[in-house]
Structures are given as structure tokens and as C-alpha cells.
Structure 1
Amino acid sequence: MSRHVEVETELWDEFHRVVNMTSRELSEWLRTRSAHEDAEELPDHSGTPTGQRVLDILQKRRVDLTDDDERVMRKVVDKIHAERRDDLEPTAGQENWRHRLMSLGHDPLKGVRDGTR
């Protein structure tokens, strides 16, 4: 079982800056991505495991985060930075690139959030 941790302010702020989709937008995107012609996954099972974890983290308060949440936050921040410039200005790209980032909670066509909650 994961234990609660105090996530560094810098990580918390950067995660919420690069994850520029709201929990509602991400949830809808994950359901859309998982919808198939023959069947649709249950809403709480739709999307990638990492996308589901990001959604879970977005719905938590900072004091409720676990060490596993912290690990996922670092992974997501690193992946988004690896795919994007540091300024994260809205950028068009190939559709599969955008969709991959959106599954992490980052829409490259949106501006970044200010990180405050």
C-alpha cells in the first residue's frame, strides 16, 4: 500500500502547469479514445493506465497524494517536457502525437495553466 507523502511544491506546480486539461476534459478524452465500434469500456477503466492515474491525481488534494502518485507525476512531467519545448506554447503537430499527449492530460493546442489551484 502506498503511503501519503508531501510532494514538493515545484513538482505540484509543474504537474498542474503541463497537465493543461481539466479532469472533465481528460475523462471525456479517455472515454472517447477507448470507445470502439463494438464496445466501450466502463468509464473508470477507459484510457491508458497512466491517463487514469493522471485523472486520479487531478481529483486529489496535495495532502492526499501517495508516493506512487508522486512517481506518476514525475513521469508525466518528464514525458511532456521530452515531447514539447520548455515554453509549452500552443503547437500543432501530427494527430497521433497530440492524442498521445492528450492521454497524459496535455493538449498541445491549448495554452498552459497557471498552476494555481
Structure 2
Amino acid sequence: MSSNDDTTSKDFEQAVNMTAGQLSDWLETDESTSVGQDDGGESVGHRSGRRIVEILRTPKGERTDDDHEHMRTVVGYVHRHLAQRPEGDVRETRWRYSLMNWGHDPLKD
């Protein structure tokens, strides 16, 4: 693994604060499927969440270049979305649900 992949892995581990099991369970909820930009029947974020589960279940040394590219996409999305935090209680908001589809629960911070 290159040093760039090491950095990507560290950034991904900081951005994704849900376990594979937690994320997988979340993706089965109505709240999860109710948010995001629809892309032919499944939102981009929901599809990303399924990919994140696969990445989390893949040993670090076996992750592909495509995995690392998606991990960088996830880190960018999480950072951008966190910067748009709405005011007030975010527990039951589309903002939180969208972030959770990408593996980040802002209430865990």
C-alpha cells in the first residue's frame, strides 16, 4: 500500500464512524431510502453506503485502487456535508440521514 493509500485509509476511518454492521442495518431503514438524489431507483448516497460496507469488510491490504478512489469520494462528501450542518436538533433530519448513508453519524461525534 502506498503512502497516499495510507493517508486515504486514515481519512476514511475518521470520516466513516459507523461500523459495517451499523451501516448495513441503517441502509435497510425507510429513513435511509427516503433521502438523496435518485439515480434510477436508488439514491447515489444509498448506493455509496452499500459500497462502503463492502470496503469496511475488506482487509486494508486487499483494497483496490477503485476502493481507494471511492474512499476519497466519501471523505470529500462527509467533509462538505458536515460544513452545511443545519441549526437546531438534527436527530431526525434529512441532513443526518444523508450523512448516515455515507457512513457518518454526526451524533457520534
What is the Cα-based RMSD across aligned positions, in Å?
2.4
**Can you give the 5+ residue segments of structure 1 that lack an aligned partner in the other structure?**
37-46, 86-90, 112-117
TM-score (norm 1): 0.69
Structure 1 or 2: more helix by fraction? 2
Contact 2:5 2:68 in 1 (8 A): no
1:14 aligns with 2:35: no
User: What aligned pairs does 1:40-51 form with structure 2 within 5 A after superposition?
Assistant: 48-51=46-49
Superposed CA offset, 1:35-67 (max 9, x none) = 79xxxxxxxxxx821111000000011111111
Change (3 A) 1:27 1:95: same
Q: 1:96 matched to which residue of 2?
A: 94
**Can you give the 5+ residue segments of structure 2 that lack an aligned partner in the other structure?**
35-44
Residue identity (%): 38
Q: 2:79 matched to which residue of 1?
A: 81
TM-score (norm 2): 0.74
Contact 1:92 1:109 in 2 (8 A): no
Contact 2:33 2:46 in 1 (8 A): no
Change (3 A) 1:106 1:92: farther
